[in-house]
Structures are given as structure tokens and as C-alpha cells.
Amino acid sequence: MKVLESLLHRIEDLGGRVRRDGRLIDIHAGLANAASIRPYLYHLLNHFERDYFISISNMAACVMPDAWDHFRQTRVRAHPDRRCASCRYAEACAGPATGQTPVPFKDAPREVAIEVTTACNLACGICFQARDGREHLPWRVLLETFKQMRHAGLRHVRFTGGEPLLYPHLEKAVLTAKKLGFQVLLNTNAALFSESKIRFFGRYADSILVSMRGCDFSSESRLTGVRADFRDKLRRIRLLASQCRHVRIGTVVSRHLIHHLEDYLCILRSTRISHWELYRPIVASSQEDYRLTRGDFIKLIRRLKRYRGSLSIKVANPVPFCLAGDSASTCHLFLGGLWDDGHTRLVLDAGGFYKPSYAMKQDLGADLLKAWRHPLMRRLRSLEYLPLRCRRCFYAGWCKGGSRQWALDSGGSLWASDPWMSHE
Ligand code: SF4
Ligand code: SF4
């Protein structure tokens, strides 16, 4: 804690203003010189973002482009610097500091998640791909997607499914993506990894996200619909963690997880994985375990709030930050809607068309930039449909008012309120 206190004092000495409230650290750059304060802000993020929600404002995000997701975008009076005209954040940025050369953010997604196949070796009740038949993305569509991504200046491609290891061209796709200079991310259930495949992906994938539904043989089998050796899965995860730069575990929250949180934490400790992502399930799951109420999720958040271990735990898809009433004491647990609902990512369906997210099936066509600029995507990103309370909320830039899919499935409209918003 002494390190944190002295870092925050240093930021204040340089002219920044620091507000602390529970797990929120809100930095207003104030009169600080961006170049002087930047190393301290990076230090703060690198060491404390696991345990705190860190927000930065009154400074141009392009000073710290890889920390863009910490910048609080507030509507300001448009600044006159013409070099910023093409920047995605031009309307919400105070502009470059004196002497700073602005580096505009492209108005394009940060990542394309490519569903290379709908085929899967498991049968999870929570799957977005529950549809008839198996469909592989044609190779020529994949190449065309890479071409469009290069043209739009994108750097990250995610291979997902179904189970992407069932895609016959996956290794060729990964090698082509690397040759084109992309960072490669892979979502997998890890069941099909042989030792040679682990070596291959350990060498070429920059980040691997492994899904884990249960915490033992019986729960993993029940939640995936397939009986498989759980100890073998853990062995593969450990091997991956030893050979790949960045491996995370992702778990869709089930009632079983809420009741057996300690068992999950114990298993995760044994894998040497440092990041655990949790996901709010879709509304219409075919499995009772995933039909969660707001009260169930609040119970989980209150338990996680007390967690003091070394694992980084984040709910990575949209959940209202105000769910449990006291946003300041639980905000560090949420990534919010940043990576969903069309805010930063496009998903390429195995049918060859772009869509706003894994769960949202709206066909946005086959042209990447046209899909990104589609009126539906613009409206999703505008947040203009949110109730006044959300639009005035400090966390709105991250929370995005919760999930559009939940709004649709339970309120009948994409533009309705998320039913898990706090009622206080
Ligand atoms: S390019 Fe301009 S508008 Fe964009 S973040 Fe930098 S200073 Fe702000
Ligand atoms: S943006 Fe809306 S849903 Fe999210 S925390 Fe604020 S008030 Fe709650």
C-alpha cells in the first residue's frame, strides 16, 4: 500500500488530482504535464489495475494509446486542432497538450473475432452456436477478411468457433495472420490440444483464452454435455501456461460456480494461471444452471469483493456496474461493455457476414468498414438510448448501461434498460 500512496502523491505533486472512493482511483490530469505524469500512470496501471478501477481524464488518450480503455471520455467543447479531425475520440478529448503531436485513433474496430467454424466437440447449454449443421468459414472469405483488416489498419485477430481447432485450416490461418503482422488470439476449450499443437500455438498465438465450465469431472461434464477427463484438461492448461505468452481461463457464471466459488479458486491456483474472466450468461440458456437472477449475480459479486488472492478476476462482458448497489466498492471487478455490443470489436460469423457481437446475429454485410459504420453500430456506440441516469453516470463509458442482448431478451428492445441495473 505504501507504494500506491507514494505513487498517488507523486501524481499530485506533478499537478494531477486524485480522487479515491472504495476501489475507484480517479485521476484528473489537472495541470500536470502529460510527458511527466505518464510514467507514473503506467506504473499505477501495471501494478494496481488488478485490484482497482483506474480512470484517467483531462489528458489526450493518444499519450498512452495502449491504456485507451482507462480514459474517461467526456463530451467536451470541440477543440480546434485539425490534426485530430479523423480521431475516434475527437469529440470527447480535450485535445493535445502544447508541444504534443496527436496520434489519431482510427474509427475502426480494435479486433475482429472470426468464427472459423460452428462445429464443436462439446455441447454446452450456454453456446451461441446452438444451430443445426456444421459450417466452416470458406478459406477465400478468411483471406478477404485479412485483406480488409490490413486495409483498415487493424492489428488483432481472434480465432473462435465453435471450437476453432476443428477448423481444417486453422494452423494455416494462424501462420498467414502472423505473416501479415497480426497479433493472434485464440478462444478454445483446450480439449483437442495434443502436445505438438500446444507447441505450435505456444509459438504463434499471442494470447489463448481457455473455457472452463466446471471445477471437477462431474460439473465440467454436466455443463459441457460431454464426459471428458477433467484432470487431463488441467494438465493441458498447465502445459499451455508454460509454453504460451498469455493464457487466461474464461468461465460463464453458473449457479454451480456461485455455490462452489472456493473450489474453482482452488483449481485455478493449481494451474498457475493468473487471469480469470467471468461471463454473464445469455438470457435464454437451455440449462437451468445458467438461468441466473440478479440476486444470484449480486451474491457472486459480494463474494468476489472479499477476494484477496493473487488471481486477476474480471467480469468481462456487460453487467451494470451498479448491480450490487455500491459501484465504487465493486467497480474493479468489471470490464463492462467495452468488448461487446459493437463498441470495439466486430465478429465475423462462420456464414461470412459481420455482426455486432457473438450473441447479436444482425447481418451487417461482408465489408468490414461498412459494417463498423452501419447505422445499427453507430447507434449502439452512441449510448443515446440509455436512460438519463446512465448518461450522467461516472461509469457509463465502461459500463455502457449493461447488456443490449439482455435488454432485448427481457425488455423486448435493444434500446431498453438492462434489467439488472440497480433499482436504488
Ligand atoms: S488524436 Fe487528438 S482527439 Fe485523438 S486522443 Fe489524441 S489529442 Fe485526443
Ligand atoms: S451506466 Fe447505468 S447501468 Fe451502468 S452503472 Fe451507471 S447507472 Fe448503472
**Residue to mutate (ligand 1; options 59, 63, 82, 87; most atoms within 8 A of CB):** 87
Listing DSSP states for 355-406 in one string gives ESSSS------S-HHHHHT-HHHHHHHH-TTS-HHHHT-TTHHHHTTS-HHH
* Cβ neighbours for 339, distance < 8 A, ≥ 6 positions apart: 316, 317, 345
Tell me, yes or no, whether 83 and 135 share the same domain. no
79 shares its domain with 168: no
88 with 122, same domain: the answer is no
Q: Quick one: 33 and 172 in the same domain? A: no
Q: Decide if 420 is inside a domain.
A: no
- 241 & 125 share domain: yes
Quick one: which ligand is closest to 423's CA?
2
Domain's final residue, options 61, 92, 123: 92
- Residue ranges making up the domain that contains 10: 2-92
Is residue 421 in a domain? no
Is residue 311 in some structural domain? yes
Question: Atom of ligand 2 at shortest distance to CA of 387?
Answer: 2
**CB atoms < 10 A from the CB of 85, how many?**
9
- Reduced to 3 states (helix: H, G, I; strand: E, B; else coil), residue 18 is strand
**Residue 76 confidence (pLDDT):** 62
Are residues 148 and 210 located together in one domain of the fold? yes
Q: Are residues 215 and 355 in the same domain?
A: yes
Q: Atom 1 of ligand 1 has which residue's CA nearest to it? A: 104
User: Distance, CA 403 to ligand 1 centroid (Å)?
Assistant: 28
CB 149 within 8 A of CB 176: no
Q: E strands, 29-137, where? A: 53-57, 111-115
Question: What's the chain's average pLDDT?
Answer: 93
Question: 78: pLDDT confidence band, cut at 50, 70 and 90?
Answer: low
**334 CB within 6 A, ligand 2:** no
User: Distance between CA atoms of 331 and 315, rounded to whole angstroms?
Assistant: 10
Q: Is 46 exposed, middle or buried (0-12, 13-18, 19+ CB in 10 A)?
A: exposed
Residue 77: per-residue pLDDT: 60
Last residue of a domain, one of 33, 64, 92: 92
Whether residue 382 lies inside any domain: the answer is yes
Overall residue count recorded for the chain in this entry: 424
Q: Are residues 118 and 227 in the same domain?
A: yes
Question: Does residue 61 lie within any of the structural domains?
Answer: yes
Same domain, 135 and 270: yes
Whether residue 27 is contained in a domain is answered as: yes
Does 56 sit in the ligand 1 pocket, CB within 6 Å?
no
> What domain count does the chain have?
2
Residues 140-153 pLDDT 10s: 999 999 999 999 99
Q: Are residues 173 and 73 part of one domain?
A: no
Distance 210 CA to ligand 2 centre (A): 29
**416 located within any domain:** no
The atom number, within ligand 1, closest to the CA of 90 reads 3
Per-residue pLDDT, 398: 96
pLDDT band at 80 (very low <50, low <70, confident <90, very high): low
Kind and range of the H or E run holding 183: strand 183-188
**Is residue 245 one of the residues assigned to a domain?**
yes
Between helices 195-204 and 230-243, what is the axis angle to 10°?
40
Q: Is the domain of 88 the same as that of 129?
A: no
Structure confidence at residue 125 as a pLDDT band (50, 70, 90): confident
User: Is pLDDT at 239 greater than 80 in this prediction?
Assistant: yes
Q: Is the CB of 105 under 6 A from ligand 1?
A: yes
Residues 180 and 272 in one domain: yes
Please say which residue of 60, 92, 124 terminates a domain: 92
Q: Is 240 in the pocket of ligand 2 (CB under 6 A)?
A: no
Whether residue 75 is predicted with pLDDT greater than 90 in this model: the reply is no
The answer to whether 191 and 225 have CB atoms below 8 angstroms apart is no
